[in-house]
Structures are given as structure tokens and as C-alpha cells.
Amino acid sequence: MSSSTRGVAEAFSGHRFTDAYPALADDVRWDLVGQDTLVGRQAVVDACEGTLAELGEGAAEFERFVVAGDGDVVAVDTVTRYVGVDGRTGRVSSCDVYEFRDGRVATIRSYAVELPPESAQA
């Protein structure tokens, strides 16, 4: 993985969390808009590990993955189709905005909306 801010954002939004962990500031703040705010590197890592556990043997397929920026602010817009081991599917449209301080992730602001499975919004 690239150590660039863009590469870190792509890894995190692409569910390759372990690639992004080294770039998290100790006091990182992750605002999951409308849900929760996590503060501190360990809280963010724990949430990511929980997400990976939930995905388990299922699959995540990106229908859209657009990255904007390459400096202290990077945004990633995605539409992801999730397939569970039980065959159930879901689709989520999300946007993650990353702010970096000294090359490390200082804040993440995530917006996410569940889409109908048959929706053509990609």
C-alpha cells in the first residue's frame, strides 16, 4: 500500500483496514454521522475489526469507488454490495472524508445510506 494520504483513504474505505492502521493518529476521531463518534486509535481499530468479523466469509463488491484529493483532505465515495454467507444481500452508499495531520489520519467523517438491493444508484 502506498503511504500517501490517498492510499491510506483508499485502503480504509476499501475495507483493507489493517493497511491503514499504521496511519491512524493516536487521537483519531471517527464521526459516523447519525450513529456514533469514536475517539482514539484503539476505538477505531476495534470498530474495524468488528466490521471484518461481521463480514466474515461473506463478500463485499464495490460497484462505485471514487477518490478525490491527495493531500490533507481526501474523500472516498462508494456504493458497496454485501453478500452474506447465508446469501442475504445489502447495498450501501457511503462517503468517507479523511483529514490528515502530519501525514496521519486525524479525523474521518462517514456518511452511509442503505440502498434497496435493486436500486440502480451507482
Q: Rounded distance, CA 70 to CA 72, Å?
A: 7
pLDDT of residue 106: 98
pLDDT of residue 6: 96
**pTM, to two decimals:** 0.89
pLDDT of residue 2: 41
3-class SS of residue 3: coil
Q: Rounded distance, CA 18 to CA 109, Å?
A: 19
Q: Rounded distance, CA 24 to CA 22, Å?
A: 6
pLDDT digits (tens, 9 = 90+) for 59-113: 889 999 999 998 999 999 999 998 877 778 899 999 999 999 999 999 999 999 9
Domain boundaries, the chain: 5-115
Q: Is the Cα dihedral 8, 99, 30, 110 positive or negative? A: negative
Instruction: Please report which residue ranges of the chain form alpha helices under DSSP H.
Output: 5-13, 17-20, 41-55
Cell numbers 471517527: residue: 30
Q: Rounded distance, CA 40 to CA 35, Å?
A: 17
Class of domain 5-115: alpha beta
